[in-house]
Amino acid sequence: MSVDDLILQWSERVREAAACGQALCLRGGGTKRFYGRPEQGKLLDTRACRGIINYEPSELVVTVRAGTPLVELEAALAAQGQMLAFEPPHFGPGATIGGCVAAGLAGPRRAAVGGVRDFILGVRMIDGRGEVLRFGGEVMKNVAGYDVSRVLAGSLGTLGLIVDVSLKVLPRPVAEASLRFEMGEAAALHQLNVWGGQPLPISASVWHDGILELRLSGAAAAVEAAIGRLGGERIPDAVAEARWRALREHTDSFFAGAQCLSSQAPLWRLSLPSDALAIELDGAQLVEWGGAQRWLCSGLSPEVIRARVAALGGHATLFRNGVREGAVFHPLTAPMLALQRNLKNAFDPAGVFNPGRLYEGL
């Protein structure tokens, strides 16, 4: 079946679902099914819609179908010395580009370059009426529909079925090096904010259990100058590359260790101002993104965790495990909830797509 025929088939299926009040569960590789509230509806598998449509390395733009495996896209980019700079986590070999956009998750480089939505130039999608819509384009200066296409990042498939997406890509760094420092949490948070205000090529950071690690990326001269300025212990390149990959994929000792995944303990993703104080909550903690993202493995109640995080100016998401039927994402204020309802009604008035995956009733 051609891609055009597949899109027509999907459009008809969506129209039928809307007419009879049936929900559809949009899913690609299913590697992020743990994220968000439980899936509902009849499965619509997106993996048949795959392949790179257009790739212009000189323009730093790629257009790819939603069912394309992330590994396939990243291999094509790497062959040209380029990358998805936001380092999307795969969480399994079947991850697709559509799932990458729908989940809106980024890896260690997020604080330095931006998140998924910052790299979306345009999308083609099927809305809840079965209509094929196109927003944005394939050039970085195209602003028509720019924000509409970005809204899909992190929507968990609740607004529409992504057919293809155009993304900005970046060259891989000429040089990279990683450094290790021994320091406590308070000292690490302070130092990260000091360094964050200086012209240093820091592309990733992580603190856990008394150890702060930095990754430097950029021109060779800039990286070497930063090494001389910062000091610390140089981490062997192969070890560092494996470390940042394991951090991105949650296969390192913190995420995959006894305190988190293997024990099924609730894992919380906390978003805070980078200069916020230590959260001071019981449980194992890991700090990323210069202090702006903090992971907490804890059996404390959601109310206690969210109250403390809100007091520090942030919000908390139940990322893995725990009770998925409740408020997985931080409760919205009344104006923000109204905005979410308006978006859902505009894109999917019959409530066909992934109902309840973000918030109950949406």
> What are the tens digits of pLDDT across the range 184-198?
999 999 999 999 999
- Nearest C-alpha neighbor of 250 from the set 26, 35, 27, 70: 35
What's the pLDDT tens digit per position in 249-301?
999 999 987 556 556 789 999 999 999 999 999 999 999 999 999 999 999 99
Strand partners, 136: 122
DSSP secondary structure string for all residues of 138-207: SSTT--TTHHHHHHTTTSTTSS-EEEEEEEE-EEPPSEEEEEEEE--HHHHHHHHHHHHTS---EEEEEE
CA–CA separation, 214 and 192 (whole Å):
9
250 to each of 35, 129, 262, 268, how far by Cα in Å? 13, 37, 12, 13
**pLDDT confidence of residue 136:** 83
Flag whether the pTM goes above 0.85: yes
What's the pLDDT tens digit per position in 196-247?
999 999 999 999 999 999 999 999 999 999 999 999 999 999 999 999 999 9
What's the pLDDT tens digit per position in 141-197?
544 444 778 899 999 999 999 999 999 999 999 999 999 999 999 999 999 999 999
**pLDDT confidence of residue 259:** 57
What's the pLDDT tens digit per position in 310-339?
999 999 999 999 999 999 999 999 999 999
Q: What is the mean pLDDT of the chain?
A: 94
Runs of H (alpha helix) within the chain:
3-20, 70-78, 97-103, 110-113, 146-151, 185-196, 220-230, 237-249, 253-256, 302-311, 334-347
CA–CA separation, 102 and 158 (whole Å):
9
Helix (H, G, I), strand (E, B) or coil at 135: strand
**pLDDT confidence of residue 139:** 56
What's the pLDDT tens digit per position in 129-141?
999 999 887 655 5
What's the pLDDT tens digit per position in 59-72?
999 999 999 999 99
Phi, psi angle pair for 171, to nearest 5°: -65, 145
CA–CA separation, 213 and 226 (whole Å):
14
- Residue 211 carries which side chain, given as an amino acid letter? I
Q: What is the Cα 93 distance to its own chain's centre?
A: 16
| Strand bridging mode 161-168 / 120-126 | antiparallel
